[in-house]
Amino acid sequence: MNWANSEAFWAMGGYGLYVWGSFGVVAIGLVAEVLMARRASRQIWRNLRDEVSDNQAP
Amino acid sequence: MVLPWFQYAAPQRFYGLAGRLYPFCFVLAALLGAVGLYMGFFVAPTDAQQGEAYRIIFIHVPASWMSMVIYCAMAFWSALGLGFKTRISGLMAQALAPTGALFCFLSLWTGALWGKPMWGTWWVWDARLTSELILLFLYAGYMALTRAIDDPQRRDQAGALVALVGVINVPIIYFSVKWWNTLHQGSSVSMTQAPSMAHTMLWAMLGVTLACWAYAVGMALYRVRGLILQREHDTGWVQALAQSQAKSLNQENPAESGAGA
């Protein structure tokens, strides 16, 4: 085990800002991409449903 | 002879296949990511020269690899699309682009946060960093171009051209640390030599890399489903899908359907 306690873990030997700044932004980026892709998918479905309901009710 | 996987080149088949595969990809990505990060933070030892700051390697290197691999994959699909006129190729390339751009940005970002404590600077115009920045611009250009063209065939072709011309940049990034004197270090892991790092570090990095692969494949499959629906919106099977979904939504929520009609 590398870390004596949780404080040492978050401090990263004085490089906490850089290490967590890296991994944190990666996490934010991945979550943001998933959310954006889901939103895009929902919009596509909405457009498709509107399209078929327009076709059905002339 | 008709190869069995050619049937998946049909958009409807591929839509179904992608729908079955992408959840597995995300589960695999989560598992591999957890194992890789655990090894990277709790098993891999402190670096003798860089202290704990080196742990950025466990995401910086995978992100950088992915940014190059995904661009190569886009070029591959583009070549397939131009050569064989397969219908989903252009869509696959377009589905991969945002994920590649994200990894490219993350590579630059984590590199800056590693460069500051180790080199004393966030950024330097050396060959490795500059060629990676050019890759980000190629991704941005590809996405802007394909989204600006409405005609499907022209969109795919223009995108394929950018992907195929831009892929020249990938070997330039890869070999930049050999061809030029760069502040960026040479590769710690190469295809021809034994890696110059501790085994636990290597396994941690490979774990995260495989997680990123699984994530990228899952993301591309998820996104390509939407692109297929858009492209094929006037075909019978997509219309039928949309109708059945609209019907099931109406049954769940009849008041809304009345208001929306």
**Tens of pLDDT along B51-60?**
999 999 999 9
Q: Which residue of B has its CA nearest to A37?
A: B223
Cα–Cα separations (whole angstroms), residue A56 to A1, A47, B129, B247, B257: 65, 14, 55, 12, 14
The residue with tokens 């899908």 is B241
Residue type, B34: A
Q: Which residues of B touch A8 (CB under 8 A)?
A: none
- For chain B, percent of residues with pLDDT exceeding 70: 90
Q: Which of A17, A18, A48, A30 is nearest to B212 (CA)?
A: A30
Assign B257 a pLDDT band (cuts: 50, 70, 90).
very low
Give the best residue of A1, A20, A48, A55 to mutate against chain B (max B CB count within 10 A): A48
Q: Which of B207, B182, B191, B259 is nearest to B29 (CA)?
A: B207
- Which residues are paired to B47 by β-bridges? B51
Which helix H or strand E contains B73, and what residues bound it?
helix B57-84
**Stretch among A10-24, B163-177, B195-209 having the lowest mean pLDDT:** B195-209
Assign B27 a pLDDT band (cuts: 50, 70, 90).
very high
Residue of A44 and B189 predicted with greater confidence? A44
Cα–Cα separations (whole angstroms), residue B204 to B26, B34, B62, B194, B213: 19, 10, 10, 16, 14
Q: How many Å apart are CA B114 and CA A26, to the nearest integer?
A: 14
Assign B261 a pLDDT band (cuts: 50, 70, 90).
very low
User: Tokens in use for B117?
Assistant: 């404590």
Give the best residue of B25, B46, B56, B70 to mutate against chain A (max A CB count within 10 A): B56
Residue type, B172: I
Q: Which of B68, B91, B69, B70 is nearest to B81 (CA)?
A: B91
